[in-house]
Amino acid sequence: MERSGPLVLEIQTITVRYGGLTALDSVSLSAPAGSFTALIGANGAGKSTLFRAISGTVPLAEGRILHESADVTQMPSHERARRGIAHVPEGRHVFKTMTVAENIEVGTYSARASSPSIYEFIYCLFPRLKERRNQLAGVLSGGEQQMLAIGRALASRPSLLLLDEPSIGLSPALGDEIFEAISNMHRETGVTVLLVEQRVVEALELCDMAHVLQNGRIVESGPPTSLLRSKDIGRAYVGLPPVTA
């Protein structure tokens, strides 16, 4: 995909600290409208912290974040959600004692404009949710709960969707289903996506730009083909064998 056009997200040299620990250190990146960006990196690299910084659940020590050219650095997270920043955090956070349909309804509350067809769209993307729409979210399988978490985020009709490890804890087959749904969703909505994934090969297949985070810094950026050619990335994250010669 062409990475040009208006920027939905601009992260300008942000630093985030938890007490004395620097979790993000002068990180900059941007995402044009409709792009799909993957963030990869080892445990503790700062991936989830980056998403928290974008959605406004951790404060910045330094730097600025712009959403659709507006500076949202000081904006509380609920206002960022209203502006169209949707964050699906690690773990499957659904309202377990509410039905599937009610969970999606909650997602519509932060939508900028109401859209009666949004349910049909979400059920079309995730047919399992349609079958189970009147069941409590707590009885869904892990994969279905992840679908619901993504569906609820989509119900707010975001312009920017942050997906933190959607396949975590799922069987390979269920993870495959989630990736397929994410791919369809991106194609059909054109929403700008940032994806954090441990399944690096799949993430690189989906994205048009990837960044590698290491100890809170971006150490490599590029289109997925060039990252896959990088021997360091291959060895560290994709499980390629060490180079012996």
Ligand X SMILES: Nc1ncnc2c1ncn2[C@@H]1O[C@H](COP(=O)(O)OP(=O)(O)OP(=O)(O)O)[C@@H](O)[C@H]1O
Residues that bind ligand X (CB under 6 A): 18, 21, 23, 41, 43-49, 90
- Residue 234 Cβ vs ligand X, minimum distance, rounded to whole Å: 19
> Is the CB of residue 113 less than 8 Å from the CB of residue 57?
no
**How does strand 209-214 pair with strand 192-196?**
unpaired
**Closer CB to Mg ion, 90 or 102, in the complex:** 90
- Residue 209 Cβ vs Mg ion, minimum distance, rounded to whole Å: 20
- Residue 14 Cβ vs ligand X, minimum distance, rounded to whole Å: 13
Binding site for Mg ion (CB under 5 A): 47-48
**Closer CB to ligand X, 155 or 164, in the complex:** 164
**Closer CB to ligand X, 41 or 143, in the complex:** 41
143 C-beta neighbours (distance < 10 Å), count: 23
User: How far apart are alpha carbons 245 and 242 in whole angstroms?
Assistant: 9
- Residue 42 Cβ vs ligand X, minimum distance, rounded to whole Å: 7
Q: Which of Mg ion, ligand X, none does residue 49 bind (CB under 5 to 8 Å by kind)? A: ligand X
What is the sign of the dihedral through the CA atoms of 87, 88, 93 and 94?
positive
**Closer CB to ligand X, 93 or 133, in the complex:** 93
User: How far apart are alpha carbons 133 and 104 in whole angstroms?
Assistant: 9
The three-state (H, E, C) secondary structure of 64-77, written as one string: EEEECCEECCCCCH
